[in-house]
Chain A
């Protein structure tokens, strides 16, 4: 029994042992084979190829948290709809009403947020 479990796991162990080699090898080979002639521009932080402006430690506009909150509406909707969809045949009319009610409540929430300007970027 114990042996069997170990045998099932041994592939995982092998993968875990091997997998670091793949990202590590190019980095190490690069270090070993490539010519090393640093200059000021090469030493800069790489940010999508655009020249860095100012300090990285600045305050960001937090408005996007409202988007995150509204996203949660859809998230929860999906989380609850998937299991219900999977058991659709068993549930009957009762579940249809429940789900309809649930979606209406979420829709009202979304409409409310929309109407209050939560989706405007300013």
Chain B
């Protein structure tokens, strides 16, 4: 006899709103004439803002959806998921403001852009909420497939198509690793549900060890950690800049969300086993990301390597969480601060980019920017200072908390590497700033109203995180698994 699972649909109401709205928007878009597609863009907010409001209302609540009889929920909502969902929705809203003028000026204006973005956000949110490996895989694909299309959105440009193809092939490759990991986990434990894995896995099972390794490889691909980072610079260079701004945050945070949940809720008792792996990946990621960024002439490639380096810093908190589950709050806070700094930096890149044939993307193209656009240059300087980690910026407090978590966990040499590579990063982050202020040059920028809004929000948020980090860090520390009781069966 078939027994319908307990649904608890309130858990996924934000997801339902976004999905339904994306489908309706797809329909509406058919009747919006070409040339007026910015309406589709602004209408995206009609889905994103209620979803954000509902997500904020879910703060502090814990629950599961799709619970089979006597089993575990497939989807959970807890502070961890809610915190990250807020991040994705904020990224989505800011990305809409960035995109509308950008894709119109770049001649890419098609309505598909926006609802693909909505679908991708649904995938990201599901990544952090999924309580079952199969669902994480589904979320991963839901998040990735729209991004493959979006990176190739500039169909006339060879680099954009190259970027989409590379992203697609390597993404599919990493999905295969992940899927293999799921299969092995299932072989070792007979389940794909994270809480049940925790209960049934045996510590000396080589199959489970291989499974964990495969899962780690899959996640490392998604977050762009060394040695699985190769796709990042090429994809970021070719894809439309507004898409890069969106995915450099959203896809990365979603990868971390699933990584943290799998390690923290599926394999927490294997901490001393996976901690060394994460530590090595983190160290390599910081070193390779920062040193490779030094040589980049193209600002999008530079920000790609910067993204790799930042993944390394976030991983310090993940590594520390092996001994202290509370430590991921540092990583969560880092991602919150990184979101605003990074989207601000990309907003400046978009302002300076000239849309006829991918120009204005070299670091040298920033020469003399401050002469004509002083405020924009100051914003650029502020974001770059934040990425380096200079005090009074969100980047500084984020690094401070992450390094603090590393020290508390006894990962001293990892923190030393982090500090040294931060110094190295100053070299490449400050180069465009130096060019903007100290050199003469023809750099010009166009700041549309949408970009202006994003820049103001990003500067303001980075400033707030830099000066009053306390309450925000407090929120992040309420979002760790330690404060959330593992879900009770049947609940």
Contacts and interface: CB of A to CB of B under 8 A. Distances in A.
A binds B: yes
A38 to B, nearest CB: 48
Contacts of B23: 105, 108
Contacts of A91: 2
A5 B4 CA distance: 39
A112 B30 contact: yes
A87 B26 CA distance: 33
Given A108-B27, A112-B26, A116-B30, 14 more contacts: A87-B2, A90-B1, A90-B2, A91-B2, A92-B4, A94-B4, A105-B23, A108-B23, A108-B26, A111-B27, A111-B30, A112-B27, A112-B30, A115-B30
Q: Closest 6 CB pairs between A and B?
A: A90-B2, A115-B30, A94-B4, A108-B23, A112-B26, A108-B27
B251 to A, nearest CB: 24
Contacts of B26: 108, 112
Contacts of A111: 27, 30
Contacts of B2: 87, 90-91
Interface string A87-122: 100111010000000000100100110011000000
Contacts, number: 17
Nearest to B31: A115
A118 to B, nearest CB: 12
Interface residue range, chain A = 10 to 19
Interface of B: 1-2, 4, 23, 26-27, 30
Interface of A: 87, 90-92, 94, 105, 108, 111-112, 115-116
Contacts of A115: 30
16 contacts: A87-B2, A90-B1, A90-B2, A91-B2, A92-B4, A94-B4, A105-B23, A108-B26, A108-B27, A111-B27, A111-B30, A112-B26, A112-B27, A112-B30, A115-B30, A116-B30
Contacts of A108: 23, 26-27
Nearest to A94: B4
A82 to B, nearest CB: 15
A115 B4 CA distance: 37
A111 to B, nearest CB: 8
A117 to B, nearest CB: 11
A36 B97 CA distance: 77
A31 B166 CA distance: 52
A90 B26 CA distance: 34
A115 to B, nearest CB: 5
A108 B24 CA distance: 9
Contacts of B27: 108, 111-112
A111 B31 CA distance: 12
A48 to B, nearest CB: 36
A55 B27 CA distance: 45
Contacts of A112: 26-27, 30
B28 to A, nearest CB: 11
A83 to B, nearest CB: 11
Contacts of B1: 90
A119 to B, nearest CB: 14
A94 B2 CA distance: 12
Nearest to B26: A112
A115 B26 CA distance: 11
Nearest to A87: B2
A92 B2 CA distance: 10
A37 B27 CA distance: 66
A115 B32 CA distance: 12
Contacts of A116: 30
B152 to A, nearest CB: 16
B220 to A, nearest CB: 32
A72 to B, nearest CB: 14
A116 B27 CA distance: 11
Contacts of A87: 2
A90 B3 CA distance: 9
